[in-house]
């Protein structure tokens, strides 16, 4: 079609929208919120951090100095090298930086409007993260963004930015309405899927031959990984049952509850299927939670009596004796669970 010069000036492109003939469709309401890219990466990291940095006399080195000088605290990340040298940011790092950003820069800039604008954006981000919203919380969400608009001109006055004609800033205006229509924003963030990008995309691609049909190979590799995990879960369950040794009390309780689901005379329950193993394994695979062990113990070299008395681990010595006896009398082919 025609491409008049005015299109370039207005940033328009001659594209026929695919939703033009869709009945009862408001395509703009179909666009969901994305906290990760719109707020954490877009509004905060790509724009607000840069603007606040330019408003400080020392610039990026001063910001790094502020972050390095922040005292260490157990629940807060300490950026010992600052933030300017970090090239690959993740959602967790955005959140860690947001927790201390206002406190880090508060001593290096005396302009109250800069601090007010930064605080307003951070308030908005935290309100947008709520898993449950009410009219009161949505009002606070709106007021936080209005507070930013009230102070944002300071960035133009100090030469940090030219204007605020930024699509991601415009998208923020629709957060209250979108939350009312579709629910809380945390359920639509791409952070939930991108956390699996390395495991399900990068590693899978590395396992392929990287040719034209690599996507098919990636899918096959993922299927095999899932099959391996299911079989490993079954082996742990079967070996523990044969040996009579529980892997963990919680895991054994889950296995027993799943296996005894059909061991009842209740006539109201449906009859078990002929192949009852597959539903059982599916239930085990879906519900089993990983057991994580700290690399360095918080309380090293603690006696058994101290564990029983101070940590309320009743009969720990008795169960250790039972385990060692079973370990000594077990057959070579009997699997021994790892502590």
pLDDT band at 104 (very low <50, low <70, confident <90, very high): confident
Q: What is the pLDDT of residue 191?
A: 80
Percent of the chain with pLDDT over 70: 81
Query: Which residue in this structure is represented by tokens 């879906």?
Result: 286
- Say what the pTM is: 0.61
Min mean pLDDT across 35-49, 52-66, 202-216, 288-302 is at 288-302
Q: Which long-range contacts (CB under 8 A, 24 or more apart) does 258-262 make?
A: 258/283, 258/284, 258/287
> ∠ at Cα 178 (173, 184), nearest 5°?
115
Q: What is the pLDDT of residue 280?
A: 52
Question: Region 321-339: what's the mean pLDDT?
Answer: 68
Closest CA to 51 of 175, 161, 213: 161
Q: What is the pLDDT of residue 177?
A: 92
User: What are 73's strand-pairing partners?
Assistant: 76
Mention every residue, 6+ apart, whose C-beta is less than 8 A from residue 66: 104, 105, 107, 108
Which phi and psi (to 5°) does residue 73 adopt?
-145, 145
Between CA 280 and CA 330 the distance in angstroms is 27
Q: What is the pLDDT of residue 5?
A: 79
Higher pLDDT, 283 or 14: 14
Question: Region 111-132: what's the mean pLDDT?
Answer: 93
pLDDT in tens, 263-302: 444 444 444 444 444 555 555 555 555 666 777 887 888 8
Q: What is the pLDDT of residue 275?
A: 47
Question: Region 84-108: what's the mean pLDDT?
Answer: 85
Q: What is the pLDDT of residue 235?
A: 84
- Residues 32, 188: contact at Cβ < 8 Å? yes
pLDDT in tens, 179-191: 999 999 888 888 8
Average pLDDT value over all residues in the chain? 81
- Integer angstrom CA distances of residue 253 from 60, 237, 247, 313: 55, 12, 10, 18
Higher pLDDT, 337 or 158: 158
pLDDT at 239 over 50: yes
Percent of the chain with pLDDT over 90: 23
pLDDT in tens, 191-207: 878 778 878 888 888 88
Question: Region 80-84: what's the mean pLDDT?
Answer: 84
Q: What is the pLDDT of residue 259?
A: 46
- Integer angstrom CA distances of residue 196 from 85, 193, 250: 25, 6, 27
């Amino acid at each position: 079609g025609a491409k008049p010069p005015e299109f370039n000036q207005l940033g328009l492109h001659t594209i026929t929208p695919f939703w033009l003939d869709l009945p009862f469709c408001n395509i703009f309401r179909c666009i969901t919120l994305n906290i990760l890219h719109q707020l954490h990466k877009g509004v905060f990291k790509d724009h607000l951090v840069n603007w606040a940095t330019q408003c400080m006399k020392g610039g990026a080195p001063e910001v790094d100095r502020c972050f390095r000088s922040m005292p260490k605290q157990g629940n807060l990340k300490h950026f010992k090298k600052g933030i300017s040298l970090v090239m690959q940011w993740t959602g967790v790092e955005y959140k860690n930086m947001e927790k201390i950003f206002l406190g880090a820069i508060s001593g290096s800039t005396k302009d109250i409007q800069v601090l007010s604008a930064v605080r307003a954006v951070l308030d908005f981000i935290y309100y947008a993260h709520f898993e449950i919203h009410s009219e009161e919380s949505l009002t606070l969400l709106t007021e936080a963004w209005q507070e930013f608009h009230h102070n944002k001109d300071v960035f133009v006055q100090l030469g940090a930015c030219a204007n605020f004609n930024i699509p991601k800033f415009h998208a923020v205006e629709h957060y209250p309405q979108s939350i009312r229509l579709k629910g809380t924003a945390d359920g639509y963030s791409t952070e939930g899927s991108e956390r699996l990008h390395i495991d399900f995309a990068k590693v899978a691609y590395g396992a392929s031959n990287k040719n034209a049909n690599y996507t098919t190979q990636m899918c096959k590799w993922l299927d095999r990984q899932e099959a391996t995990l299911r079989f490993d879960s079954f082996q742990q369950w079967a070996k523990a049952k044969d040996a009579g040794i529980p892997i963990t009390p919680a895991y054994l309780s889950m296995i027993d509850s799943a296996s005894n689901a059909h061991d009842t005379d209740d006539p109201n329950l449906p009859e078990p299927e002929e192949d009852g193993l597959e539903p059982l394994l599916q239930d085990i695979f879906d519900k089993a939670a990983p057991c994580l062990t700290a690399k360095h113990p918080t309380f090293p070299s603690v006696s058994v009596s101290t564990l029983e008395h101070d940590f309320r681990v009743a009969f720990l010595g008795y169960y250790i004796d039972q385990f060692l006896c079973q370990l000594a009398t077990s057959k070579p082919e009997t699997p021994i669970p790892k502590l």
